[in-house]
Amino acid sequence: MLTIKLSKRADKALGKIPAKQAKQIAARIKKLADDPETLPTVELKGYAPWRRAKSGEYRIIYKIDVDILRVALVGKRNDDEIYRLIERFLR
């Protein structure tokens, strides 16, 4: 099992999401930490080794460093804001 490290931005975003969706996202992050190969994820083009996982209408942007699951961002899938944040946060 991987250790989970949330960025300040991801932690803040989870606090603003409705409780039901936040629980689903937290469960998805835990599942990624338990076994990253079980969930369908996609590598972010141009931002390797960062990956994205879907959780309902939200995306989880993360990468795996040795024994640490680093969650950088959490945001709505259909909102362009997550992509602007990726540009700022991951470059």
Sorting pLDDT into bands at 50, 70 and 90, what band is 91?
low
Mean pLDDT of 41-49: 89
Helix residue ranges per DSSP H, the chain: 8-16, 19-34, 81-90
Per residue in 20-43, pLDDT (tens digit) is 999 999 999 999 999 999 899 999
Work out the angle at residue 80's Cα, subtended by the Cα atoms of residues 21 and 35, and round it to the nearest 5 degrees. 45
Per residue in 2-19, pLDDT (tens digit) is 999 999 999 999 999 999
| Boundaries of every domain in the chain | 3-90
Domain 3-90 has CATH 3.40.50.300: no
The more confidently predicted of residues 44 and 27 is 27
